Amino acid sequence: MTIVETFEPSPLRLSHLDALESEAVHIFREAAAEFERPVLLFSGGKDSIVMLHLAMKAFWPAKVPFGLLHVDTGHNFPEVLAYRDRTVAEHGLRLEVAKVQDYIDDGRLRERPDGTRNPLQTVPLLDAINQHRFDAVFGGGRRDEEKARAKERVFSLRDEFGQWDPRRQRPELWSLYNGKHRPGEHVRVFPLSNWTELDVWQYIEQEKIELPGIYFAHQRAVFGRGGMWLTAGEWGGPKDGEPVELRSVRYRTVGDMSCTGAVDSTAATLQEIIAEIAASTLTERGATRADDKLSEAAMEDRKREGYF
């Protein structure tokens, strides 16, 4: 009698990055199938860059079936805006820009005494959503960033005023997402919810994704305020007694220049940044975002108002 040996194929095991990518691609495809007018928030920051990369993968070889939206504070870093425009042109994408400066010029918004414009983004964002009738808005929020984001759903329902009500959020068991909404409401969709900052950087390295140079260590003229290194600019810094000095810094996150701090760093490569992040005990927003330090519930308040 001949004995025939049989071998059971081993199950396919994805790396944790491949599993996160697969989940994000699934979220993009689910939202694109369920909503009529989605849009992706794109600032040229690393999280929105990774989101766009995932969206292009999700629908390849077709083009991304939705446009991009950026709420421009007028105080964004020039390197990041240049990257944004270059990326849009390179991939033939549609970009809508809602400008905070327009709202200040016509009196719909007032400048804050501290010069920070990040808290002023809510009204232009909601107006753009209403004007273009966007019913799904992809955002780059991650649960590891801040406690107000930690309890957020992947599909986050917003009412007709763009506000968030915890009592109306739906369970998401077995990765089943409920996008039902009434006319005038919309859903914020967060494909990177389960990612960490380290995951994002490791994925950028794996996929060889280009980033603005601001994320890598470089010599920059900065001044100290509130325990952070800020860049001088038209927003009003520095003040008297805040000397400017040249330091080797990089940015872990980017936003309004008035509230986004740099960190001392010599990490000039992806491998060095990954090692630096792995050793860090502070989240990127906790370490470098002054707008999150305005109060204990700063991000929670802004989320309820419709910003996040």
Evaluate if residue 235 carries a pLDDT over 80.
Answer: no
Overall residue count recorded for the chain in this entry: 308
Write the CB contacts of 13 (distance below 8 Å, at least 6 apart in sequence). Answer: none
Task: Give the span between the Cα atoms of 257 and 260, in whole angstroms.
Answer: 5
pLDDT at 295: 46
Evaluate if residue 176 carries a pLDDT over 90.
Answer: no
Question: Which has more pLDDT, 235 or 16?
Answer: 16
pLDDT at 170: 83
Evaluate if residue 261 carries a pLDDT over 80.
Answer: yes
Q: Are 243 and 209 a contacting pair, CB within 8 Å? A: no
Q: Look up residue 86 and give its amino acid.
A: R
Question: Which has more pLDDT, 297 or 88?
Answer: 88
Q: Are 42 and 207 a contacting pair, CB within 8 Å? A: no
Question: Which has more pLDDT, 239 or 248?
Answer: 248
Of 21, 39, 29, 44, give the one whose Cα is nearest residue 90: 44
Evaluate if residue 5 carries a pLDDT over 80.
Answer: no
pLDDT at 286: 53
Write the CB contacts of 94 (distance below 8 Å, at least 6 apart in sequence). Answer: 67, 68
Evaluate if residue 291 carries a pLDDT over 80.
Answer: no
Task: Give the span between the Cα atoms of 213 and 11, in whole angstroms.
Answer: 40
Burial of 175-209, coded b for 16+ CB within 10 Å and e otherwise, reads: eebebebeeeebbbbbbbbbbbbebbbbbbeeeee
Task: Give the span between the Cα atoms of 36 and 11, in whole angstroms.
Answer: 37
Q: What is the pLDDT of residues 8-48, one digit of tens each?
A: 555 667 899 999 999 999 999 999 999 999 999 999 999 99
- Residue 23: both structure tokens together: 């989940």
pLDDT confidence bin for 304, thresholds 50/70/90: low
pLDDT average, residue stretch 51-79: 96
Evaluate if residue 289 carries a pLDDT over 90.
Answer: no
**Does the bond joining 65 to the residue before it have cis omega, within 30 degrees of 0?**
no
Share of the chain above pLDDT 90, in %: 63
Helices 78-91 and 46-59: angle between axes, nearest 10 degrees? 10
Question: Which has more pLDDT, 149 or 175?
Answer: 175
pLDDT at 298: 57
Q: Where are the beta strands (DSSP E) in the chain?
A: 38-41, 67-72, 95-99, 136-138, 155-158, 186-189, 218-225, 228-231, 244-250, 263-264
User: How high does pLDDT run on average in the chain?
Assistant: 87
Q: Are 188 and 156 a contacting pair, CB within 8 Å? A: yes
Evaluate if residue 59 carries a pLDDT over 90.
Answer: yes
- Write the DSSP assignment of 50-117 as a string of letters: HHHHHHHHHHTTSPPSSEEEEEE-S---HHHHHHHHHHHHHHT--EEEEEHHHHHHTTSS---TT---
Q: CA end-to-end span of the chain, whole Å?
A: 70
pLDDT at 216: 97
Share of the chain above pLDDT 70, in %: 86
Q: What is the pLDDT of residues 204-225, one digit of tens each?
A: 999 999 999 999 999 999 999 8
pLDDT average, residue stretch 226-241: 84
What pTM does this model have? 0.88
- Residue 66: both structure tokens together: 């939705």
Evaluate if residue 100 carries a pLDDT over 80.
Answer: yes
Q: Which residue carries 């929670």 as its tokens? A: 300
pLDDT at 308: 55
Task: Give the span between the Cα atoms of 91 and 20, in whole angstroms.
Answer: 24
Question: Which has more pLDDT, 13 or 108?
Answer: 108
pLDDT at 37: 96
